[in-house]
């Protein structure tokens, strides 16, 4: 049984086709990742499936109900955790949960009990009576997810649940997602991080310019890119060119990173990497950082589309 069955979804804003014919088939009980850079159309797709936007064309069934003609039935079994935290900043954490519990049909005392139970479960009891605007990013995310399971949904939309979180909070959110799935909830997870999709998702659709450009398991996607990638930083920016040439003799897909010392390449064999390191040292290129790792979203994109996920911006260069 499919939890989401969408075909040919299209949504334009003015001249921009934000979503340009998206097909999705998400099996019930799974985590399905929608992977893509900013502006690829992930959020617009989620908003259509959650009945917040009406598609220009195309159809979709969510848990067997049509998103346009049976919107009310769809809303009865889904919940949404948006990219911008979907909680009220001017209320306390507890008040947010009580409000939602009341709206979902709990009585007065039932709503309070449910709020306290969730605050406990999400390790938010201490901050329960603080205004949400004073919450840390991780706490806000946890509250956001707690708000989505006041009544446990059959399907949950999670839009970039860990963007901007520190690693510890990110791990917590991942644990919560795993617990939700083991309880039987289907999750549609939008993310910019291949790593996140790899950790959580059973299936992934890669989306770019409003279209699904690849689909498969995380393992299949990574194989399509190569076994992994080699990341290198030279000490002196001036030596990058020599390093680039030396790597180019051994590897495919050598490209420059965002900052002036970074290089990466597709690497199928760890032995080759050792040889490359030796060659660099032979040419007196000083290496600051050398690693073999999973392909990044950038590399998946490069392999699938021939263009990077995002043009490096001045901002990213500064943060490197």
> Where on the chain is the footprint of another protein (CB under 8 A)?
30-31, 47, 50-54, 72, 75-76, 78-80, 82-92, 95, 99-100, 102-106, 110, 114, 117-118, 120-123, 131, 147-149, 151-152, 168, 171-172, 175-176, 178-183, 185, 199-202
What's the closest the beta carbon of residue 204 comes to another protein, in angstroms? 12
Q: Are 27 and 1 in contact (CB under 8 A)?
A: yes
Output helix, strand, coil percentages for the chain, rounded to the nearest 5.
Answer: 40, 30, 30
What's the closest the beta carbon of residue 255 comes to another protein, in angstroms? 29
How is residue 10 annotated by DSSP?
A: E
Of residues 106 and 135, the one with the C-beta less far from another protein:
106
What's the closest the beta carbon of residue 46 comes to another protein, in angstroms? 10
- Cα 193 to Cα 210: distance, rounded to the nearest angstrom: 18
Helix axes 108-121, 137-148, angle to 10 degrees: 130
What's the closest the beta carbon of residue 88 comes to another protein, in angstroms? 5
What's the closest the beta carbon of residue 6 comes to another protein, in angstroms? 17
Of residues 179 and 270, the one with the C-beta less far from another protein:
179
Structure tokens at 247: 């790597």
CA distances 281 to 148, 252, 260, 285, Å, are 54, 20, 19, 6
Of residues 108 and 236, the one with the C-beta less far from another protein:
108
Of residues 106 and 251, the one with the C-beta less far from another protein:
106
Structure tokens at 71: 């919107």
What's the closest the beta carbon of residue 41 comes to another protein, in angstroms? 17
Of residues 175 and 320, the one with the C-beta less far from another protein:
175
Q: Are 231 and 293 in contact (CB under 8 A)?
A: yes
- Cα 213 to Cα 211: distance, rounded to the nearest angstrom: 6
Q: How far apart are the first and last CA of the chain?
A: 45
Supply φ then ψ for residue 287, to 5 degrees: -105, 125
Of residues 20 and 117, the one with the C-beta less far from another protein:
117
């Amino acid at each position: 049984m499919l939890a989401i069955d969408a075909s040919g979804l299209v949504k334009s804003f003015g001249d921009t086709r934000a979503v340009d014919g998206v097909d999705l088939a998400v099996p019930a009980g799974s985590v399905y990742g929608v992977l893509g850079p900013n502006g690829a159309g992930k959020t617009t797709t989620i908003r259509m499936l959650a009945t917040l936007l009406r598609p220009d064309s195309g159809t979709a069934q969510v848990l067997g109900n049509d998103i346009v003609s049976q919107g009310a039935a769809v809303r009865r079994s889904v919940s949404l955790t948006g990219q911008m935290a979907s909680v009220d900043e001017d209320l306390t954490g507890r008040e947010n949960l009580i409000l939602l519990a009341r709206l979902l049909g709990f009585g007065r005392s039932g709503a309070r009990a449910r709020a306290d139970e969730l605050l406990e479960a999400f390790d938010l009891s201490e901050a329960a009576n603080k205004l949400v605007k004073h919450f840390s990013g991780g706490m806000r995310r946890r509250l956001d997810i707690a708000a989505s399971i006041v009544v446990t949904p059959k399907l949950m939309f999670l839009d970039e649940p860990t963007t901007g979180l520190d690693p510890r909070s990110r791990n917590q959110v991942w644990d919560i997602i795993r617990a939700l799935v083991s309880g039987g909830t289907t999750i549609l997870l939008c993310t910019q991080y291949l790593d996140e999709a790899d950790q959580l998702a059973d299936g992934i659709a890669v989306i770019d310019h409003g279209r699904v450009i690849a689909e498969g398991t995380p393992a299949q996607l990574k194989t399509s890119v190569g076994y992994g990638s080699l990341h290198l930083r030279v000490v002196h920016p001036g030596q990058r060119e020599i390093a680039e040439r030396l790597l180019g003799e051994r590897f495919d897909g050598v490209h420059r990173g965002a900052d002036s010392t970074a290089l990466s390449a597709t690497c199928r064999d760890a032995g080759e990497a050792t040889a490359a390191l030796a060659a660099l040292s032979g040419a007196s290129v000083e290496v600051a950082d050398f690693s073999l790792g999973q392909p990044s979203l950038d590399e998946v994109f490069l392999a699938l589309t021939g263009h990077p996920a995002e043009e490096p911006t001045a901002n990213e260069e500064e943060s490197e």
